């Protein structure tokens, strides 16, 4: 018996049930009476949303991340913890790795601790096969699930995403506009965010009337050396390219190393764009132009949305944050 | 009334009291009787160490770190969480920043959550002035305090440290042995670990019969650009040096950038050694020789020690982990 059952039986949204529970005046008297009647009939005890009122709550939120030693996710954890703390919530951290079974196990564990919500940090928590996400959809009936730069449709699931597609489109359009004809695209992940970035690359080519050439699109482990070696072998096979757009700074660092290894001048003969604007982009010579994917804004917005859910306010199920292109010395725009 | 009072009144160590509470046979009958008598007289309820027996425990450990977006600390949190989880403990994370008052506030907050122990990750939690550490010493009467690469003497306080002093001495000795006469030392922190590293630098000079020259020792913010700019201005002031030893990879990256900016060949005219063997050391050309400070071993050892404390086993109050020098292309040894 949970809030989802109440919303189903009453024929209203979970947000409406939540507003009734929280005494939010933004509900008609008729709806309120209907919801309360259904609760009574079902014998529902409003323990989940009562949490938002400070009743029956540990004031604790679970944060799951695949790997907190990844620089992007390390930043995310820092900002999420700080923002939750500012609202009086503790963070229980779970570093899950990438295996689905382990993620599910840790997710169950967090639920058994009666956390008030679970935040999934990073886009690696939404699986390609819908049935692999069913444990999240089912759990959302009992507690809000917040996705940081991931997207999953469902009641009581809230996403805050960066406009990755627009960000990559903008960067690639600038590369094309500054005279590049063959922009190689390197990416590491097929996640929501990963696929969006790839679409942004294709958007830019299409907008410029250029063909999408599969031989210019390559998947690569998120690793400096793997990226350098891939580019070296592609060049050895005779592939030519005058710019490299990447889905992560580590891949862009690999591209800088490839250029150094082959004596190719940057940005004269090769332009390079990174993603995430991490510390890594500042370590190379020249420093790397990179998309700032606004991890701090993503995290504080996620927590603000969650606080809205707790207090029964109407919040959007999806919020998009605009990225920023930080121009440095690996590009001539 | 706590275990500290019992140990004081009985004239035995906290570890002994703990062993008595846990029924550990490694205590003489006379001592056991004495401890139990004191407990009785004082009206002591053994709630703290009973936690180790699975009684009266939330199976939750607080982790405090100054800044989880620092690559070294991000790694530490990842390994601590993973290791605690493998023992069935949750981690409540607190990112405190560097301000003492904020650290104290968060520490109290963790205690109020009745965590079973607090782990302080990184060497920024032990203050220079003894009175600023009294809140830790007092709290240790109630729950174990674990320091990861920090050192504070006190009952029920356990440190796992890297042999930073030996590590820097070894690296600087290798620099001197390979013909360097003027080794500049760049460091960012006056923490326990920071001072040890500086001592290691001095040890190496002394061992080689070289004078310690204050003009070759410089403090610098832990930041790539700050390090590069400091070296540029020192060179402009006429300082000469043929090697740079650093206390952190970010400072070493700055040294590589300084050399590139001035057209100085690495390692021909300038050798550079980093510290922590982070991702940053792999981003530059040439890649940076760096001390692997064994953060994973530090963290798993910290958690293993804590599990020993919980079960009343005799554990050392200080464990030292040996570092490793990873030789890459910024040195000719």
* Residue in the block written with tokens 């100054």: B66
pLDDT of the residue at B47: 47
Give the residue on A whose Cα is nearest the Cα of B280. A280
pLDDT band at B25; cut points 50, 70, 90: low
For A213-270, strand residue ranges (E) read 217-219, 243-246
* Neighbouring residues of A82: CB distance < 8 A, sequence distance ≥ 6: B95
Strands (E) in chain A, as ranges, are 60-65, 90-95, 117-121, 145-148, 157-162, 183-187, 217-219, 243-246, 271-275, 289-292, 318-321, 324-326
Asked if the Cβ–Cβ distance from B113 to A90 is below 8 Å, we say yes
At A48 the pLDDT is: 40
Please write the tens of the pLDDT for every residue from B165-215: 999 999 999 999 999 999 999 999 888 889 999 999 999 999 999 999 999
B266 versus A48: which is more confidently predicted? B266
* ipTM for the assembly: 0.78
Find the residue in B nearest to A286 (Cα).
Answer: B257
Nearest to A37 by CA among A12, A64, A61: A12
Query: Of A45-54, A177-186, B131-140, B277-286, which gets the smallest average pLDDT?
Result: A45-54
pLDDT at residue number A22: 62
- Give pLDDT tens digits for B124-143: 888 888 899 999 999 999 89
Q: Give Cα separations from B295 to A305, A330, B238 (angstroms).
A: 35, 33, 38
pLDDT band at B255 (very low <50, low <70, confident <90, very high): very high
Determine whether the interchain pair A68/B90 forms a contact, defined as Cβ–Cβ distance below 8 Å.
no
Give the CA diameter of chain A: 76
* Residues in chain B within 8 Å Cβ distance of A246: none
Q: What is the rounded CA–CA span in Å between residue A35 and residue A41?
A: 10
pLDDT tens string B220-234: 999 999 999 999 999
Place of tokens 């570890």: B15
Which whole-number Å values give the CA distances from A313 to A30, A122, A309, B22, in the listed order?
Answer: 19, 25, 6, 50
Task: Answer yes or no: do B93 and A81 touch at CB < 8 A.
Answer: yes
> B143 Cβ partners below 8 Å, 6+ apart?
B48, B111, B115, B116, B117, B118, B156
Going by pLDDT thresholds of 50, 70 and 90, the confidence category of residue A110 is confident
Q: Are B250 and B186 in contact (CB under 8 A)?
A: no
Q: pLDDT tens across A280-296, in order? A: 999 999 999 999 999 99
pLDDT at B68: 66
Closest residue by Cα to residue B312 from B90, B64, B54, B69: B54
Lowest average pLDDT, out of A55-69, B63-77, B247-261, goes to A55-69
Q: Whose CA is closest to B202, among B192, B216, B190, B189?
A: B216
The arithmetic mean of pLDDT across residues A84-89, rounded, is 91
Percent of chain B with pLDDT over 90: 63
Would the pLDDT of B50 be above 80? no
Question: Cβ(A89)–Cβ(A59) under 8 Å?
Answer: yes
Q: Do B75 and A92 touch (CB under 8 A)?
A: no
- CB-CB neighbors (< 8 A) of A279 in chain B: 71, 224, 250, 280
Average pLDDT on A78-107 reads 89
Residues B79-100 have pLDDT tens digits of: 999 999 899 898 888 888 888 9
Q: Inter-chain contact A282–B71, Cβ cutoff 8 Å?
A: no
CB B156 within 8 Å of CB B144: yes
Q: Please give the Cα distance from A149 to A155 (Å, whole number).
A: 18
Q: Which of A92, A113, A279 sits opposite B280 (nearest CB)?
A: A279
pLDDT the model gives residue A44? 67
For strand A289-292 and strand A90-95, is the pairing parallel, antiparallel, or unpaired?
unpaired
Per DSSP, the residues of A35-68 read HHHHHHHHT---HHHHGGGTSS---EEEEEES-T
The pLDDT tens digits for A236-253 are 999 999 999 999 999 999
What per-residue confidence (pLDDT) applies to B53?
A: 40
Which tens digit of pLDDT belongs to each residue from A180-197?
999 999 999 888 889 999
Is residue A26 pLDDT above 80, yes or no? no
B285 with A257: Cβ contact below 8 A: yes
d(CA A117, CA A110): 9
Residues in chain A: 333
Q: What is the mean pLDDT of residues B33-59?
A: 63
* Number of C-beta neighbours around residue A40 at 10 A: 9
């Amino acid at each position: 018996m949970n809030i989802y059952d109440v919303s189903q039986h009453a024929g209203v949204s979970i947000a409406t049930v939540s507003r009734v529970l929280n005494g939010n005046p933004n509900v008609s008297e008729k709806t309120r009476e209907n919801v309360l009647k259904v609760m009574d009939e079902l014998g529902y005890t409003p323990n989940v949303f009562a949490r938002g009122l400070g009743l029956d709550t540990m004031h604790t939120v679970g944060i799951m991340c695949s790997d907190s030693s990844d620089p992007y996710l390390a930043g995310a954890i820092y900002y999420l913890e700080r923002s939750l703390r500012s609202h009086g919530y503790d963070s229980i951290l779970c570093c899950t790795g990438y295996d689905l079974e382990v993620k599910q196990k840790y997710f169950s564990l967090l639920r058994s601790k009666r956390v008030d919500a679970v935040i999934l940090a990073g886009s690696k928590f939404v699986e390609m096969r819908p049935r692999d996400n069913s444990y999240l959809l089912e759990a959302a009936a009992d507690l809000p699930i917040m996705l940081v730069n991931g997207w999953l449709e469902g009641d009581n699931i809230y996403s805050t995403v960066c406009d990755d597609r627009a960000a990559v489109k903008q960067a690639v359009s600038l590369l094309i506009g500054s005279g590049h004809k063959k922009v190689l695209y390197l990416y590491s992940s097929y996640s929501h965010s990963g696929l969006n970035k790839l679409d942004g690359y294709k958007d830019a080519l299409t907008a410029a009337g250029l063909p999408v050439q599969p031989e210019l699109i390559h998947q690569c482990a998120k690793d400096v050396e793997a990226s350098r070696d891939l580019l070296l072998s592609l060049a050895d096979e005779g592939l030519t390219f005058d710019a490299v757009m990447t889905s992560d700074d580590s891949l862009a660092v690999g591209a800088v190393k490839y250029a150094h290894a082959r004596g190719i001048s940057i940005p004269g003969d090769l332009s390079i764009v990174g993603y995430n604007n991490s510390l890594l982009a500042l370590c190379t010579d020249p420093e790397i132009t990179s998309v700032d994917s606004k991890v701090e804004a993503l995290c504080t917005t996620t927590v603000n949305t969650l606080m809205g859910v707790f207090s029964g306010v109407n919040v959007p199920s999806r919020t998009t944050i605009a990225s920023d292109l930080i121009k440095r010395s690996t590009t001539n725009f």
